[in-house]
Chains A and B, each alone.
Chain A
Amino acid sequence: MRTFTERQALLIAIAVSGLTLAATFGFAAAMRGALFSMRLPSIPPSAQAAMITQNISPDAAQGRHLFLMNCAHCHGDDAHGDEGPDLHDLHKSDDRIHQLITGGIKGEMPSFAKKLNDSDIRALTAYLRTLRS
């Protein structure tokens, strides 16, 4: 088998890792495109933009930040559901929401008891109350 000098090996290694990363990103983009082409859009982008720019209280704004940090990767950036369910128009009491966030749902949603304190959950709930479809 041919042996390479360290410099040659370095150049090949950079090319291989760059190509691998580019191929992975391309594959992911293609898969994501295929995945979303199979779904009907739930809300037009203009309506989503309108919801984002609506006036919300400071508490809800803090809740939105917490939502994007902790919840968006499962419930979607717009809270319309991704892996987790749509959180618009929730028919649950504040106490029940608090209980779900702190306790989690076995096998479906982790517990955030050690991560979010009561005021965080209040802010998060305030944000969830602003979500109307």
Chain B
Amino acid sequence: MLMTSLFWSRLHGGATHFPIAFMFASAFFDALGFYQSSGKRELKAAGYWLGLLSAVGCFGAVVTGLALSQWKIGGTGLLLRHHLAVWPAFALIIGLGTWRCLVRNNPSSRGFTIYLCVVVVACGLIGAAGFFGGEMLLGQ
């Protein structure tokens, strides 16, 4: 094969860490902006753009991951566990990015609290997906 699994493994490793980092940083800045009284606007703007970058970046992570797993969306063992965390996380990141993009800077306090709670769930799923992915590639 022209593109070996090692090629996809490296590309997937590189592509996944950007959206993961962006999502965690977005959650951090959004939470900080929510609880801080000063610099609220700047912190929320940072959370907004990082969330959007994460949503865009996760397409690269998903495509390289699918290529690495030979286009399996399920699988067995660790791959299945990885996918069980990845797919809801992917859907949530896209949904959160879309919602944030449409609402822009006008979310209500209640709406933003719910948004933050869903972001925490998405971060948990991303963490689980990363854990099982690392277990597969590193084996320990």
Contact = CB atoms under 8 A, between A and B. Distances in A.
B77 A73 contact: yes
A6 B107 CA distance: 7
Contacts of B98: 9, 12-13, 16-17
A112 B94 CA distance: 35
Contact of A29 (B73, B91, B92): B73
A29 B71 contact: yes
Nearest to A2: B102
- B interface SS class: helix
Contacts of B90: 20-21, 24
Contacts of B111: 6
A115 B78 contact: no
A25 B50 CA distance: 26
Contacts of A24: 62, 66, 73, 90
Interface stretch (A44-52, A90-98, A102-110, A125-133): A102-110
B77 A110 contact: no
Given A9-B102, A13-B102, A70-B78, A20 B139 contact: no
A73 B102 contact: no
A24 B140 CA distance: 30
Contacts of B92: 17
Nearest to A73: B79
Interface string B28-40: 0000000000000
A8 B139 contact: no
Contacts of B5: 74, 83
A69 interface: yes
B75 A73 contact: yes
Interface centre among B66, B70, B72, B96 (most CB of A within 10 A): B70
A35 interface: yes
A32 B139 contact: no
A29 B140 CA distance: 30
Interface of B: 5-6, 62, 66, 68-73, 75-79, 87, 90-92, 94-96, 98-99, 102-104, 106-108, 111, 135-140
